[in-house]
Amino acid sequence: MSDGTPVPSVLLGASGWIGQHFSRLLADHPYFAPPVLTGAKSAGRTLEQVWQLSDLPVPAALADRRLERLSAAQIAQRGLRVAFSALPSDEAGPMETELARRGVSVFSNASSHRMDPRVPLVVPEVNGDHLKLLGAPRRRAAGGQTRRGFIVTNSNCSTAGLVLPVAPLLGLLRPRAVHVATYQALSGAGFPGVPSLAIGDNLLPFIRDEEEKMSTETGKILGRVAGGRVHPLELPVSAQCVRVATREGHLEAITLVLPSSLRVTPEEIVDAWESYRPLSADPGAGGGLPTAPERPVIYRPEEDRPQPLRDRWAGRPERARGMAVSVGRLRVAPGTMRFFSLSHNAVRGGAGGSVLNAELAYRQGYLG
Amino acid sequence: MSDGTPVPSVLLGASGWIGQHFSRLLADHPYFAPPVLTGAKSAGRTLEQVWQLSDLPVPAALADRRLERLSAAQIAQRGLRVAFSALPSDEAGPMETELARRGVSVFSNASSHRMDPRVPLVVPEVNGDHLKLLGAPRRRAAGGQTRRGFIVTNSNCSTAGLVLPVAPLLGLLRPRAVHVATYQALSGAGFPGVPSLAIGDNLLPFIRDEEEKMSTETGKILGRVAGGRVHPLELPVSAQCVRVATREGHLEAITLVLPSSLRVTPEEIVDAWESYRPLSADPGAGGGLPTAPERPVIYRPEEDRPQPLRDRWAGRPERARGMAVSVGRLRVAPGTMRFFSLSHNAVRGGAGGSVLNAELAYRQGYLG
Amino acid sequence: MSDGTPVPSVLLGASGWIGQHFSRLLADHPYFAPPVLTGAKSAGRTLEQVWQLSDLPVPAALADRRLERLSAAQIAQRGLRVAFSALPSDEAGPMETELARRGVSVFSNASSHRMDPRVPLVVPEVNGDHLKLLGAPRRRAAGGQTRRGFIVTNSNCSTAGLVLPVAPLLGLLRPRAVHVATYQALSGAGFPGVPSLAIGDNLLPFIRDEEEKMSTETGKILGRVAGGRVHPLELPVSAQCVRVATREGHLEAITLVLPSSLRVTPEEIVDAWESYRPLSADPGAGGGLPTAPERPVIYRPEEDRPQPLRDRWAGRPERARGMAVSVGRLRVAPGTMRFFSLSHNAVRGGAGGSVLNAELAYRQGYLG
Amino acid sequence: MSDGTPVPSVLLGASGWIGQHFSRLLADHPYFAPPVLTGAKSAGRTLEQVWQLSDLPVPAALADRRLERLSAAQIAQRGLRVAFSALPSDEAGPMETELARRGVSVFSNASSHRMDPRVPLVVPEVNGDHLKLLGAPRRRAAGGQTRRGFIVTNSNCSTAGLVLPVAPLLGLLRPRAVHVATYQALSGAGFPGVPSLAIGDNLLPFIRDEEEKMSTETGKILGRVAGGRVHPLELPVSAQCVRVATREGHLEAITLVLPSSLRVTPEEIVDAWESYRPLSADPGAGGGLPTAPERPVIYRPEEDRPQPLRDRWAGRPERARGMAVSVGRLRVAPGTMRFFSLSHNAVRGGAGGSVLNAELAYRQGYLG
């Protein structure tokens, strides 16, 4: 573990939607120093000048910081040991690889490396143990000069809202298949993203590559590590993804197909969700991470929840707002159970996911 | 069949959203005279004065007609032989029963009598034959003085968008179960309906009784008539219903669970949809109904269709606009197939459904 | 002034939109005890159960408090000395009068008594001195048994966003007339308020009585007290009020007609706004009120501000969020100047306005 | 006048929002042949493939026509004598000049040449006589080989909604100044235009150059031609322009400052609007133009009109839908009168404006 000095960091792609959520979370973080900001097109402008999250305040500590145009070499030379990446996929691939090669540890929201079987794709509560793909922490801590960088990715935004409530049920329900229909917020497409004329009074039943990501990423996250790579869980996930005109918060209508012989009560399912505390159960493995919510899955008993407007910022303590997934409208029938899930796509399903990954890596000694 | 004189009719509940769609469709109808309009709270005001369908013109032939407050006895006494009902459910139950008792034939959008096994719940292309629950047409035509009324209902708005594209596939796919998630327009809740503050930047994952209706109505419509009642098809339908901020047009994400041994290609499915012409195949049984669309199910090959804004008014000829269901994004996987459906909730799933039912009854001699 | 014990208070109409904003502001207030909550239709339910401000948290201190149905007599008997009124106008008139008669001091958002020339209509920064209509504070403090209640009202929501930026300019510009066009948020109509089908893809250029209120209230607020009544300023205000589909925050396009001979620079106007600190200039008269913003008028130099989403919560310190008015796009031409104003209709233009009035009255000894 | 053969035409910029409205209006026009379509980025695709007006049908006659990339020389060589221009301003300037030089008559929606004092900026009902800037029609018709092209522009979208209802009142009211605040629809910014994340739950009080256009264009349109150029009317127009989240239809809150001595009744004003028939009054000068509405200004007496959703398509006959301006909420006070105006920004304020200009030029022999 670290000596307590905040780790110098860089935020790649600070002018985008996810980048700006990163900036909120990192402006005043106990493990990481306020990040250097990069942005190709907006270099020279301050964070305040490029701020797009209209309903959230610009973080005071970074408001006047100017975005820079930095190469991987420059980042490494400036001693920025951790990079948070909100780059678009086409830029993220080579940049992140180059940063890792130069000894920088990358926590990325980009999809470029997510399905590389040697790159951890991590939702800490679910598969924090996948970090062992990075090797033994101790050896890494031994000498700065031999330190190698690595890449750890968070999941796609819609995947996060699926695996978090499904993971606690795997043992109880042994599902055979998952059907999911999504109601995805505008910010999932970034800024400028979806034209107002395309989505006003409308729905767009297509998000490129999204359905495939929900399927393959879920398998990988729920898989197990062996022989230096991830072996995905075999669980068919069939998704139907739709863009809707909400700002933030992805709603998902989830159906699990169960073994026909299974008998389960709603109470057992609710109990599995409410007692799900994988991080706090093992503090040494991550308990008490600053951005981890006390309860990662919150069950709402009301007849009309969860809703984006009411539930997207779920999560305590204050630093973990937007990191909890809210579930509700649970119904159990012979052979199936179904429910709704609501998660903040840009926090739990984006910037917050990678910040939590970085906190876990920090606590486990991978940044030592 | 009739002698060609338009049948005198009444429209119950002309001040509501569905009522006003009825008024559009009936203002200039070849079988039915422009209807007398009723409305309890708005009696004395003209249709133009209570008009709520802001983006559609008031039908000229009815614009100045005043709404009246009429009892079932008055309706029967005025010789109004056909009633179109857009009443709210709590009023519809007793009123429709009383009208039928007095010899008026009721075509209703209300849910009150839909699940009565002796009342036809009809989507003409799918189960027009259920009208035989009403008895033999010929006997009915024999003498005006012995004429008895009856009730025929259309389906719930979201059911219409499900059964129309599923019906043509039953033989081909032999589905074992249906999973459906809906994206239902505001007008499904009528006017004033959903408060703007409740739905702006939000989604409401609850519509009272809607999921149950989709399940039970689908079984009844796809069932068969025997012994004077309907025997529902046993096909589990599990629905998850969500209100979204579109004006009109329900989108549905539909998954059919298929026999594991079944092999089917997308082309076979598309062909089943595109060749589906149940009414025109048998003109005597309804072919050429004025409000029937040439093609009840329209397959859209684009990667991002169907959409409410683009597809809700699908259907030809002009009188059948909004009566076709658009489907798209078909994907076939082992054991499942899935697609999106888009239907106009207030036309095919509401007023237009009952108008089409009345046309079918007229052509089959039930109004003789 | 008080002895520091929080004054027992009641919140009338806690189930409505403004009522719930009151509850947020009063749940943890230094002068007033957490209020007893009343609500006629929702009596028996907790604040959490009736919560409508979907994007704001229920105040923890009041979440479980149940709404009660209380008469004026009961309120007085329970020793609740201050009433905050979020009642609808038709209920507010007699109830507030009766409360005042029984010795309760009423701070009201309702319009019922606003234009009574003996009732102070107060925006503290602008006309805090109008409280002298209530008589001499000292005499009031003399003996509890002779204490009489009174009514103080805040302005209409759209008036607040007009008078706050106009007041600092009166001396500099000597305007002859004011033209204002408004862009008013949905919450100004309360809940359920505007139907989503009426406002989606639409604008409603009519809000009953609103234009008249903007004219008469502005005159009264900018007027002077003499002879125990308010003598309004003679300044023609012609308003055109429009409802738009935003949740909160009223935008106003304001034009001042200036004396033709007047010469003024934009810099002078900006300086008049930025130096406007009427409360802090005279602490004894209200400086340091908990809900008063450091700067009541904030000038935005950007080319596209103020905006509802970005500026509605303007105001510091934390307790004064939503209490500052943001202005921008100032343009000066011969004979006119124009600008945009943005204010939180439910905070500065509603609950916050009355809370600030109550703080001023408290500090000036009227609640002693 | 023409011999009745439809004039070969080209539509420049068919892939944009205004371009597609042009295509609707020209697909089946009595004077002009269905246009050749150009589009730089979309060349090779059919109109149907690039269609963006989601709630309007693609015109059947042009649906399969492919967009081409054509130079001014190619257009002239192909004998396309009339060009309708929906080009963006930066492309329109040189292209339109070049076309005119080569003998093509250009009817343009672009702002590039609008304020050139020798280029007619025309709203036919208001200043159709400005076409005389083009010279004597007869001489032009004399010989095809000497024919020169020209440019005629329509006004900015928001200007159209202002000058049409103001023009009929000039003589009656002799206004000294105009104040206008706008509520402008998304389509005014074209496609993709305004990002959904920027305008959802928001208002944008800035549209580049819009306020200046409303002022200078109004002066020019209401001006008079003398000495081969336009002499603008001196009437100060101060505008405040705001983008709102409606699809189509600009609402404007208009105030006219009147001579202090003027006495006028609302009835006189309404009468001036309702009796305004400048084109039909002089058929030879344009009466009976196909796209001209019977009544260019429609007064709505309801308390809450005009509204975008209800009134944007005002205008008869069918071909003139969207060409009438609706006004309402008239209020007269000493020294001022005010009202709301609603016009279809893409029809009357865009494509339809230029089509009407071309019809006028055709009928007056300028295209002979």
> Catalytic residue among B21, B113, B250, B344, which?
B250
Give pLDDT tens digits for D148-172: 799 999 999 999 999 999 999 999 9
CA distance C206 to chain D (A): 5
Chain D hits for B201, Cβ within 8 Å: 200-201
Chain A hits for D193, Cβ within 8 Å: 195-197
In this predicted structure, what is the pLDDT of residue A281? 52
DSSP string covering D152-200 = EEPPPHHHHHHHHHHGGGHHHH--SEEEEEEEB-GGGG-SS-SBHHHHT
In this predicted structure, what is the pLDDT of residue B325? 98
Mean pLDDT of B53-62: 95
In this predicted structure, what is the pLDDT of residue A1? 45
Q: What is the CB neighbour count within 10 angstroms for residue B69?
A: 12
Chain B hits for C17, Cβ within 8 Å: 197
Give pLDDT tens digits for A21-34: 999 999 999 999 99
CA distance B197 to chain C (A): 7
Question: End-to-end CA distance of chain D, in Å?
Answer: 6
Task: List the subunits that have 3+ CB pairs under 8 angstroms with C.
Answer: A, B, D
Instruction: Dump strand ranges (E) for chain C.
Output: 9-12, 36-38, 82-85, 105-108, 150-153, 177-183, 224-226, 229-231, 237-240, 250-257, 297-300, 325-333, 336-343
DSSP B347: I
DSSP A302: S
Q: Tell whether the model's pLDDT for residue C290 goes beyond 70.
A: yes
Task: Identify the band that residue A3 occupies on the pLDDT scale cut at 50, 70 and 90.
Answer: low
Chain B hits for A244, Cβ within 8 Å: 183, 203, 244-245
Strands D105-108 and D150-153, sheet pairing: parallel
DSSP A337: E
Find, in chain A, the residue whose alpha carbon is nearest to that of D187: A197
The percent of residues in chain C predicted with pLDDT above 70, rounded, is 94
Chain D hits for C205, Cβ within 8 Å: 251, 253, 304-307, 328-329, 340
> Catalytic residue among B157, B179, B231, B344, which?
B157
Choice between B1 and A264, residue whose per-residue pLDDT is larger: A264
Contact B358, B290 (CB under 8 A): no
Task: Identify the band that residue C307 occupies on the pLDDT scale cut at 50, 70 and 90.
Answer: very high
At what angle are helices C210-221 and C157-166 packed, to 10 degrees?
Answer: 40
Choice between B140 and C191, residue whose per-residue pLDDT is larger: C191
Contact A195 D192 (CB under 8 A): yes
Chain C hits for D303, Cβ within 8 Å: 206
In this predicted structure, what is the pLDDT of residue D280? 67
CA distances from B362 to B36, B367, C98, C140 (A): 19, 5, 65, 82
Phi-psi category of A230—alpha, beta or left, where left has phi over 0 and alpha has psi -120 to 50? beta
**B–C CB contacts, 8 A cutoff, strictly below:** 65
Find, in chain C, the residue whose alpha carbon is nearest to that of B200: C247
**Burial label, A244 (beta-carbon count in 10 A; 0-12, 13-18, 19+):** buried
Find, in chain A, the residue whose alpha carbon is nearest to that of C313: A55
Strands D325-333 and D336-343, sheet pairing: antiparallel
Find, in chain A, the residue whose alpha carbon is nearest to that of C48: A302
Per the DSSP assignment, residues forming a β-bridge with D252 are: D182, D341
Give pLDDT tens digits for C318-333: 999 999 999 999 999 9
In this predicted structure, what is the pLDDT of residue A284? 45
Task: List the subunits that have 3+ CB pairs under 8 angstroms with A.
Answer: B, C, D
Chain D hits for C307, Cβ within 8 Å: 202-205
Please report where in the chains the tokens 């004998």 appear, as a residue: D79
Task: Identify the band that residue B137 occupies on the pLDDT scale cut at 50, 70 and 90.
Answer: confident
Mean pLDDT of A337-345: 98
Cα dihedral D72, D75, D78, D79 in deg (nearest 10): -100
Half-sphere exposure of A243 (CA within 13 A, CB side): 25
Compute the mean pLDDT over every residue in chain D, rounded to the nearest whole number: 94
Contact A45, A67 (CB under 8 A): yes
For B196, the closest of C52, C55, C194 (CB atoms) is: C194
**Burial label, D142 (beta-carbon count in 10 A; 0-12, 13-18, 19+):** exposed
In this predicted structure, what is the pLDDT of residue B286? 45
For B338, the closest of A238, A251, A340 (CB atoms) is: A238
Find, in chain D, the residue whose alpha carbon is nearest to that of C255: D179
Chain D hits for A204, Cβ within 8 Å: none
Amino acid identity of residue A331, one-letter, is R
Contact D240 C183 (CB under 8 A): no
In this predicted structure, what is the pLDDT of residue B147? 64
Q: Tell whether the model's pLDDT for residue D147 goes beyond 80.
A: no
Mean pLDDT of C303-326: 97
In this predicted structure, what is the pLDDT of residue C287? 61
Mean pLDDT of B98-102: 97
Q: ipTM of the assembly?
A: 0.95
**C-alpha–C-alpha distance, residues B199 and D302, integer Å:** 28
Contact D337, D11 (CB under 8 A): no
Q: Tell whether the model's pLDDT for residue C1 goes beyond 50.
A: no
Q: Which of D128, D65, D179, D152 is nearest to D289 (CA)?
A: D128
**B–D CB contacts, 8 A cutoff, strictly below:** 13
Mean pLDDT of B261-266: 96
Q: Tell whether the model's pLDDT for residue B245 goes beyond 80.
A: yes
Give pLDDT tens digits for C254-288: 999 999 999 999 999 999 999 998 886 554 444 68
For D338, the closest of C240, C303, C310 (CB atoms) is: C240
Give pLDDT tens digits for D88-102: 999 999 999 999 999
Task: Identify the band that residue A280 occupies on the pLDDT scale cut at 50, 70 and 90.
Answer: low
Give pLDDT tens digits for B17-26: 999 999 999 9
Task: Identify the band that residue D1 occupies on the pLDDT scale cut at 50, 70 and 90.
Answer: very low
Q: Tell whether the model's pLDDT for residue A335 goes beyond 90.
A: yes
Question: End-to-end CA distance of chain C, in Å?
Answer: 6
Told to judge if D250 belongs to the known catalytic residues of this protein, a careful annotator would answer yes
**C-alpha–C-alpha distance, residues B184 and B346, integer Å:** 11
Task: Identify the band that residue D3 occupies on the pLDDT scale cut at 50, 70 and 90.
Answer: low
In this predicted structure, what is the pLDDT of residue C282? 53
Q: Tell whether the model's pLDDT for residue B209 goes beyond 50.
A: yes
In this predicted structure, what is the pLDDT of residue A137? 72
Task: List the subunits that have 3+ CB pairs under 8 angstroms with B.
Answer: A, C, D
Compute the mean pLDDT over every residue in chain C, rounded to the nearest whole number: 94
Contact D182, D251 (CB under 8 A): yes
CA distance C185 to chain A (A): 15
**C-alpha–C-alpha distance, residues D96 and D110, integer Å:** 9
Contact C194 B193 (CB under 8 A): no
Q: What is the CB neighbour count within 10 angstroms for residue A102?
A: 15
Find, in chain D, the residue whose alpha carbon is nearest to that of B197: D201
Amino acid identity of residue A322, one-letter, is G
CA distance D264 to chain B (A): 30
Contact D340 C177 (CB under 8 A): no
Please report where in the chains the tokens 């055109």 appear, as a residue: C240
CA distance A308 to chain C (A): 9
In this predicted structure, what is the pLDDT of residue D137? 72
Q: Tell whether the model's pLDDT for residue B144 goes beyond 50.
A: no
Contact B251 A205 (CB under 8 A): yes
Amino acid identity of residue B134, one-letter, is L
Contact A47, A37 (CB under 8 A): yes
Mean pLDDT of A233-246: 98
Q: Tell whether the model's pLDDT for residue C35 goes beyond 90.
A: yes
**C-alpha–C-alpha distance, residues B290 and B306, integer Å:** 25
Told to judge if D241 belongs to the known catalytic residues of this protein, a careful annotator would answer no
Compute the mean pLDDT over every residue in chain B, rounded to the nearest whole number: 94
Find, in chain D, the residue whose alpha carbon is nearest to that of C310: D202
Radius of gyration of chain B (CA): 20
Which alpha helices (DSSP H) does chain A contain, by range? 17-26, 47-50, 72-77, 89-101, 124-127, 137-142, 157-166, 170-173, 196-199, 210-221, 266-274, 278-281, 308-311, 352-363
**C-alpha–C-alpha distance, residues D239 and D215, integer Å:** 7
Give pLDDT tens digits for B286-338: 468 999 999 999 999 999 999 999 999 999 999 999 999 999 999 999 999 99
Give pLDDT tens digits for D276-332: 988 865 544 446 899 999 999 999 999 999 999 999 999 999 999 999 999 999 999
- How far is residue D248 CA from its own chain's centroid? 14
To test the contact with chain A by mutation, choose from C49, C55, C302 the residue with the greatest count of A C-beta atoms within 10 A, namely: C55
Chain D hits for A192, Cβ within 8 Å: 192, 195, 197-198
In this predicted structure, what is the pLDDT of residue D145? 44
Q: Tell whether the model's pLDDT for residue C146 goes beyond 60.
A: no
Contact B197 C201 (CB under 8 A): no
Catalytic residue numbers of C, as ranges? 157, 250
The secondary element (H helix, E strand) that includes residue B26 is helix B17-26
CA distances from A81 to A27, A78, A101, C93, D248 (A): 17, 9, 12, 66, 51
Residues 6+ apart with CB under 8 A from A5: none
